[in-house]
A = this chain, B = another copy of it.
Amino acid sequence: MGNEGIVISIFINDFAQKKKKLNFKEKKQMQFRVLSIVFVVSMMWACTSSKKENKATPQPIGIVIHGGAGTILRKNMTPEKEAAYRKVLAEAVQVGYEILKKGGSSKEAVEKTIHVMEDSPLFNAGKGAVLNSDETIELDASFMNGATLDAGAISGVRTIKNPISAAIQVMENSPHVMLSGKGADVFASEQGLEIVAPEYFFTERRIQALKRVKESEQKKKETTATEQAFLKNQRYGTVGCVALDQNGNLAAGTSTGGMTNKKWNRIGDAPIIGAGTYANNATCAISATGWGEFFIRSVVAHDISALMEYKGLSIQEASRIVIHEKVASLGGDGGIVGIDNQGNIAMEMNTPGMYRAHVDNNGKQTVKIYKDE
């Protein structure tokens, strides 16, 4: 019996005791009491219904991914290449969505989704990572948990198959947030993560890309528009994922091989909490991809969250301002994917394209490459 039942039974009992001849004043009092109790019962009924309604509309879930932004143009694509990208994007985002649908955490969804992209040679992260100037690879990744503001990051690792998992291990099993270089490799190995030989990461495509960038650097002659677009794209390439789970927890993760031909152990925005990755249950989860230097200077991911928290902007409006006004005014380009604590999403870019995909609360999947899709 609910609260309503208790109130009704008290009223009946009360009424039975008073079953006697009533004078006018007593009748009026009784009428008032009946009306009051009817009112209270109605209010309780309304509240219960509203609670039931809330139960019928559970916390929305959602997931958004990117596989890098840049000068991605239809004229430089073959149908086969495009289909291959769309296939992996669809597969990756679906892996995370299924986890969320079954009640899994946003952390698990982000990790497993990024694994799919890290394991694909198509994206500049994990297996498809680009080569440094000295023909080595260096991988960066970061992860943030919106519920606790816990975070982990690694930069410049060379032997970890799935850098996103190393970032999560740093968060969970070290007193630190960010580890780098050989130390990060040692830590990941101690944690039992899968270690691979450096050759695992090398793909013919990236070896050729490094040659082409180096040749272009040596020639220093005028390049064609296609060559310029190719060279420019060597600055980009990252994968990232943001997710909202059934408990209302947000998470964000980013993983990259950095820039082709990079020197001096350069660190981009991908492993920097606040720049490439940020998650906060109070606002949103963001993963960025673009010309890393500008994204660090603009503290992109945290700035979007701050515009939401302090100015009450929507995730779309906050993302638009940061990407199209702030980053663009410095001369930088790239994009972000984001999801807020209500499941609203943003996929914002100021480049001609960004590999991206999304599954909404109803399971509807969207995969896009070009900006104008």
The residues of A with any CB-CB pair to B shorter than 8 Å are 144, 149-151, 155-156, 174-184, 186-187, 263-268, 272-275, 278, 292-293, 296-299, 302-303, 306-307, 310-311, 330
Contacts and interface: CB of A to CB of B under 8 A. Distances in A.
Given A180-B180, A265-B184, A296-B178, A302 B274 contact: yes
Nearest to A302: B299
Contacts of A150: 297
Contacts of A302: 274, 299, 302-303, 306
17 contacts: A144-B297, A174-B264, A176-B293, A177-B293, A178-B266, A179-B264, A179-B265, A179-B266, A179-B267, A180-B266, A183-B265, A184-B264, A187-B263, A272-B273, A272-B274, A273-B275, A310-B310
A260 to B, nearest CB: 13
Nearest to A175: B293
A293 to B, nearest CB: 5
A182 B181 CA distance: 10
Copies per assembly: 2
A298 B155 contact: no
A126 to B, nearest CB: 20
A183 B263 contact: yes
A138 to B, nearest CB: 9
A248 B373 CA distance: 45
Given A274-B272, A311-B310, A155 B297 contact: no
Nearest to A132: B183
Contacts of A297: 144, 149-151, 177, 273
A278 B275 CA distance: 12
Contacts of A306: 302-303, 306-307, 310
A345 B330 CA distance: 27
Contacts of A278: 299
Contacts of A149: 297-298, 330
A278 B298 CA distance: 10
B264 A187 contact: yes
A275 B274 CA distance: 8
Contacts of A298: 149
Contacts of A151: 296-297
Contacts of A178: 266-268, 272, 296
Contacts of A175: 293
